[in-house]
């Protein structure tokens, strides 16, 4: 049986092989992914991002366990759950994977759960492309909920988080006085803000800081005295009509998780009723096509570029007879059809 058909029949080994093929950009894997693409589109994608150590993996394990048992949307019952852990901060295979696997031990072994850790990709954009492909494959394989953990650090991770239907930005008390997410500028991608480690002192303070930051970004909901133009805050609301909530959880004590799941379900329902899910899917499709297009154009460029032309241009740049920008102008002008 071919790979795509085996994946559709729920063969986990075939799925794992497909995901490896996608990560290695093996043409057979990528072809199977294209074959599977029409079968996808049902999954709810939940992005979980935030600074290292705030408890994302632990929280994802808790969320996964609850959702696996009770579903995500009200009254759905048990569903298949997948976790995709994107951790580019560990370039060496093994470390991050083991770390995440261990905290996922509650979930591992359940045939309705699939956990995948993404290895860091050397090439620029490779991580985002591989993650998009992985999520597509899991969606087609029938995982109704896909939890995507990313470290809220680089552009690629933010890009990945933005392709989720619902994005959680996780924060924890006791990581310095400032709330890291505010400093990192990732509040704007949050549909829901989570203060994890609520069992530790300082959680109330972190929640207060986040609410204050949100109030600055969403003044229309908090200030009736100014015209809307004047109230335009720094945080562009990702989804019209949705005001991010701030919720406490403790992955350690397993508290706050059902309330968080309710909030996610409310956000998903809001996406459906407001028509925003469609807009989100368009944005996701654009991101994915652009990521692949960029790769294809770079490959195409390198295939057409004669090495001696490149070397000659670089020499001129070294001698300061032309600027790097002028070199690129020359190299691409000669190539234009």
62 counts as binding ligand GDP under rule CB under 6 A: no
- Cβ 185 vs Cβ 234: under 8 Å: no
Q: Considering the complex, state which of residue 37 and residue 252 has its C-beta at the smaller distance from ligand GDP.
A: 252
Element spanning 326, H or E = helix 324-335
Task: Give the nearest residue (CB) to Mg ion.
Answer: 57
Structure tokens belonging to residue 6: 């085996």
Minimum CB–partner distance for residue 33 and Mg ion (Å): 26
Residues 246-265 that bind ligand GDP (CB under 6 A): 250-252
Q: Which stretch binds ligand GDP (CB under 6 A): 152-160, 191-199, 265-273, 286-294?
A: 191-199
Q: Which does 200 bind (CB under 5 to 8 A by kind): ligand GDP, Mg ion, none?
A: ligand GDP
Please name which of 264, 209, 215, 273 lies closest in space to residue 240, comparing C-alpha atoms. Answer: 273
Residue with tokens 């049902």: 42
Residue with tokens 């989100």: 280
Other beta carbons within 10 Å of 293: 10
- Cβ 160 vs Cβ 86: under 8 Å: yes
Q: Considering the complex, state which of residue 135 and residue 313 has its C-beta at the smaller distance from Mg ion.
A: 135
The single residue among 8, 30, 184, 200 that binds ligand GDP, judged by CB under 6 A, is 200
Q: Considering the complex, state which of residue 14 and residue 170 has its C-beta at the smaller distance from Mg ion.
A: 170
52 counts as binding ligand GDP under rule CB under 6 A: yes
CA distance 305 to 299: 10
The single residue among 45, 51, 55, 57 that binds Mg ion, judged by CB under 5 A, is 57
Burial 68-85 (b: 16+ CB within 10 A, else e): beebbbeeeeebbbbbbb
Minimum CB–partner distance for residue 197 and ligand GDP (Å): 4
Residue with tokens 């109330």: 204
53 counts as binding ligand GDP under rule CB under 6 A: yes
Minimum CB–partner distance for residue 80 and ligand GDP (Å): 22
Per-residue x/- track, 84-123, ligand GDP (CB under 6 A): -------------------x--------------------
Q: Which stretch binds ligand GDP (CB under 6 A): 24-32, 49-57, 206-214, 295-303?
A: 49-57
Q: Considering the complex, state which of residue 54 and residue 146 has its C-beta at the smaller distance from ligand GDP.
A: 54
Element spanning 172, H or E = none
- 153: number of CA atoms within 13 Å, CB side? 11
Q: How many residues form the binding site for ligand GDP (CB under 6 A)? A: 15
Q: Considering the complex, state which of residue 59 and residue 313 has its C-beta at the smaller distance from ligand GDP.
A: 59
Residue 238: phi and psi, rounded to 5, are -65, -45
Q: Considering the complex, state which of residue 58 and residue 167 has its C-beta at the smaller distance from ligand GDP.
A: 58
- Complete edge-to-edge strand list for the sheet that includes strand 113-118: 113-118, 81-86, 145-151, 44-50, 166-171, 192-195, 245-248
Structure tokens belonging to residue 222: 């908090």
Binding footprint of Mg ion on the chain (CB under 5 A): 56-57
Binding footprint of ligand GDP on the chain (CB under 6 A): 52-58, 103, 196-197, 199-200, 250-252
């Amino acid at each position: 049986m071919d790979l795509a058909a085996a994946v559709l029949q729920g063969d986990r080994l075939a799925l794992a092989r497909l995901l490896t093929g996608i990560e290695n950009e093996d043409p057979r894997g990528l072809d199977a992914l294209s074959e599977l693409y029409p079968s996808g589109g049902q999954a709810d994608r939940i992005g979980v991002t935030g600074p290292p150590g705030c408890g994302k993996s632990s929280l994802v394990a808790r969320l996964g366990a609850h959702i696996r048992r009770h579903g995500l949307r009200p009254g759905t019952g048990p569903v298949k759950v997948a976790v995709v852990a994107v951790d580019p901060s560990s370039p060496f295979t093994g470390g991050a994977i083991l770390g995440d696997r261990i905290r996922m031990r509650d979930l591992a072994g359940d045939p309705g759960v699939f956990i995948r850790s993404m290895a860091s990709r050397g090439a620029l954009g490779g991580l985002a492309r591989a993650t998009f492909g992985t999520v597509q494959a899991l969606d087609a394989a029938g995982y109704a909920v896909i939890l995507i953990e990313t470290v809220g650090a680089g552009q690629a991770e933010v890009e990945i988080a933005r392709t989720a239907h619902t994005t959680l930005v996780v924060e924890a008390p006791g990581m310095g006085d400032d709330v890291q997410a505010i400093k990192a500028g990732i509040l704007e991608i949050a549909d829901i803000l989570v203060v994890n480690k609520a069992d530790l002192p300082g959680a109330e303070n972190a929640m207060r800081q986040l609410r204050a930051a949100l109030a600055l970004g969403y003044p229309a909901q908090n200030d009736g005295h100014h015209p809307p133009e004047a109230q335009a805050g720094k945080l562009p609301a990702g989804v019209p009509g949705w005001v991010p909530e701030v919720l406490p959880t403790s992955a350690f004590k397993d508290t706050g998780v059902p309330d968080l799941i309710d909030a996610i379900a409310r956000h998903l329902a809001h996406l459906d009723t407001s028509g925003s899910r469609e807009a989100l899917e368009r944005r996701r499709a654009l991101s994915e096509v652009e990521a692949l297009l960029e790769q294809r154009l770079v490959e195409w460029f390198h295939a057409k570029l004669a090495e001696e032309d490149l070397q000659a241009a670089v020499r001129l740049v070294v001698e300061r007879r032309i600027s790097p920008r002028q070199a690129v102008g020359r190299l691409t002008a000669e190539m234009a059809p």
